[in-house]
Structure 1
Amino acid sequence: MLSRTASSLYWLGRYVERAGNNARGLQVALRMASLTGAGQRDTAWHALLVATGCEPGFRDKGAPLTQENVVRYLAADPENPSSIMSCIEAARRNGRAVRTALTVDMWEAVNETWSQARRSTEATFAPDNLPDFLDWMKQRTVLFNGAYADTMLRGEAWRFVRLGTMLERADNTARVLDTHHHALSDVEEGGALAYLHWQAILRSVSALRAYHHIYRARLDPRRIAEMLLLRHELPRSMVACYARIEETLDGLAAAHGGQRGECHRLAGEIHARLKFSRIEDIMGEGLHQFLTRKIDRSIDLGAEIGAFYLHS
């Protein structure tokens, strides 16, 4: 497979996943803003900007930190490469470049999402209409993920889409946890505001119901951190994502005559450290420090994947 084809497939997976993650994050921030006072509302919007990695770009625009400005920047701003609309555009552009490598269902999922998104207007992002748009975006992400999971041959094309999806997902989970690490670092029972933060973390990765199914108990910060970091059952946990990343890279290595690079070693190292970690040790050394290292390692891994497979 040509490196430019691999790159388009990889970034197709990343951009679709990023659009869904941003939609989920906006839904959670809207809920937090509706349940808290003015000061906490500002905190919720700033936390979302940090979690999406968009805080520097938003700050450079010089716009006040308001719900309207943050929503516009994360949902529709064409100057923000990580806005939902920009991600849809980039996903479609990458998909079109490798149209023959996609199944009919995959292409229709991407192209119809792009076509419908183009009909969006300013009213689409108004407070009364925004929840419907965010629900729609989540549904389109699930549709695309289902399409490639159910219709692609388990070959190189599938592996690169999956690799992009899983790396983006792992990075998002780490950033969500790190943004709210202060709410998880105190193991003592919190008040109503702490409970809202704990719910927000779980809702950001669609894991609130999963938490109750696994633990059958009230929300607890240690258990939340444990589930999102170390529980294999949760498909958005970091350990589950990195297990799939390592598996996918192993499959690519086998398809390329066993050739391996730094990305394979690094993926195995990250997965092993997560697989054999204990939540007591993580909380003891500091959740923020642990997550910061994982985010940095995720960035390094993305760069190594690019250097080994995606750049000609």
Structure 2
Amino acid sequence: MLSRTADGLFWLARYMERAASVARLVQVGNRMSNMSLSLDNPGNEWRSTLVATGTEPGYLAKHGEIVPSLVLDYLVLDPENPSSIVSCIETARRNGRAVRTALTVETWEALNETWQQTRALKADRLAADSLPGLMDWVAQRSLLFCGTYANTMLRNDGYLFTHLGTLLERADNTARILDVKYHVLLPDHEGVGGVLDYYQWQSILRAVSALRSYHWVYHDRLKPWLIAELLILRPEMPRSLVACLAHVVDLLEALAVRYGGQRGECHRLAGEIHARLRYGRVEDIFQFGLHEYVTQFIDDMLRLGQEISGFYLNVR
């Protein structure tokens, strides 16, 4: 496969997953903010959301201060923000169009229909009564895209690069959701610190579709160290960091086999990150510092993406 085609598939998948990631982060910020206001305890939820999406510098350069309505517009509709939902879907569609012949009809139609409907979005969809439905729609469109390529693409190198892009972005997203309000997840001697803390923990689990999974696995009330363990170290949780990295390692190995057995730093680094997760303990994570651990993981994922691009794609 031409490196340019592989690159287009890789980034198409990353940007579709990123659009859903931003939608999930907006959902977390919105739920936390609403709960804080209802308890007359306003916090910095929207600043945390900007930090988690990596868009705080760009937002402050444009708007100067944190205003919820402006944050929502910047994260969802602003074409000048390359990480806004609209921009992500636009970029995904541009990449998809460039590699149209490598996509199945169903995958292209799912992508193109999402793009067409996104272009028609108006600011009134960011109103309080419409926002949750819109964010759910974005997440569902991303799932539709993943479902179409997973169920219709040949299991060749095109599929491998597409799925690799999805999983790298998904792992990064789970880490960022954990970091939206990392201090809320720090344990205290009483476990649950009140209604607000409980609701915020619940919002984080809902954002990664893990609330029911948590209760299935632990049969216990929400506890911060168990939430962190589920989203970082439990391999049966499909969006956990360890589950995503296990698949990344397998995909890179499959690519190495297809390309003459050649391996590079990306293969070594992916294996190293996965090993740390596979043999990690939640007690050690909290001793190190959850925020510090998640930040290091996000940096590792950035480096891994760069190594994959340098070794296989070599066009960016």
**CA–CA distance in structure 2, aligned partners of residues 175 and 241 of structure 1:** 14
Give the gaps of 5 or more residues in structure 2.
Answer: none
Q: Which residue of 2 aligns with 1:74?
A: 75
Identity across the alignment (%): 56
Instruction: Work out which of the residue numbers 248, 251, 255 in structure 2 matches 1:252.
Output: 255
The 3-state SS of whatever aligns with 1:37 is helix
Q: Which residue of 2 aligns with 1:50?
A: 51
Deviation at 1:40, TM superposition (A): 5.2
**CA–CA distance in structure 2, aligned partners of residues 232 and 150 of structure 1:** 23
Q: Which residue of 2 aligns with 1:113?
A: 114
Matched, 1:235 2:238: yes
Within a 5 Å distance, the mapping from 1:112-131 to structure 2 comes to 112-131=113-132
Within a 5 Å distance, the mapping from 1:1-312 to structure 2 comes to 1-37=1-37, 41-188=42-189, 189=191, 190-312=193-315
Deviation at 1:116, TM superposition (A): 1.1
Amino acid at match of 1:238: L
Deviation at 1:280, TM superposition (A): 1.4
Amino acid at match of 2:75: L
**CA–CA distance in structure 2, aligned partners of residues 187 and 272 of structure 1:** 29
Amino acid at match of 1:29: G
Amino acid at match of 2:268: R
Larger deviation, residues 30-39 vs 161-170: 30-39
**CA–CA distance in structure 2, aligned partners of residues 255 and 290 of structure 1:** 34
Contact 1:227/1:237, CA 8 A, preserved across alignment: yes
RMSD, aligned CA: 1.5
Contact 2:19/2:89, CA 8 A, preserved across alignment: yes
Contact 1:32/1:41, CA 8 A, preserved across alignment: no
The 3-state SS of whatever aligns with 1:147 is helix
Deviation at 1:9, TM superposition (A): 0.3
TM-score, with normalisation over the residues of structure 1?
Answer: 0.96
Contact 1:246/1:267, CA 8 A, preserved across alignment: yes
Amino acid at match of 2:181: H
Contact 1:63/1:69, CA 8 A, preserved across alignment: no
The 3-state SS of whatever aligns with 2:155 is coil
Give the gaps of 5 or more residues in structure 1.
Answer: none
Larger deviation, residues 51-60 vs 106-115: 51-60
Deviation at 1:284, TM superposition (A): 1.8
Deviation at 1:208, TM superposition (A): 1.1
The 3-state SS of whatever aligns with 2:75 is helix
Equivalenced residue count is: 312
Contact 1:235/1:241, CA 8 A, preserved across alignment: yes
Amino acid at match of 1:138: A
Amino acid at match of 2:145: F
The 3-state SS of whatever aligns with 1:36 is helix
**CA–CA distance in structure 2, aligned partners of residues 196 and 221 of structure 1:** 12
Deviation at 1:42, TM superposition (A): 4.7
- Give a deviation string over 1:111-159, Cα, whole Å, max 9, x none: 0001111122222333333232222111111111111111111111111
Deviation at 1:107, TM superposition (A): 0.3
**CA–CA distance in structure 1, aligned partners of residues 121 and 263 of structure 2:** 44
**CA–CA distance in structure 1, aligned partners of residues 41 and 247 of structure 2:** 37
- Give a deviation string over 1:269-291, Cα, whole Å, max 9, x none: 00011001111111122222222
TM-score, with normalisation over the residues of structure 2?
Answer: 0.95
**CA–CA distance in structure 2, aligned partners of residues 145 and 270 of structure 1:** 24
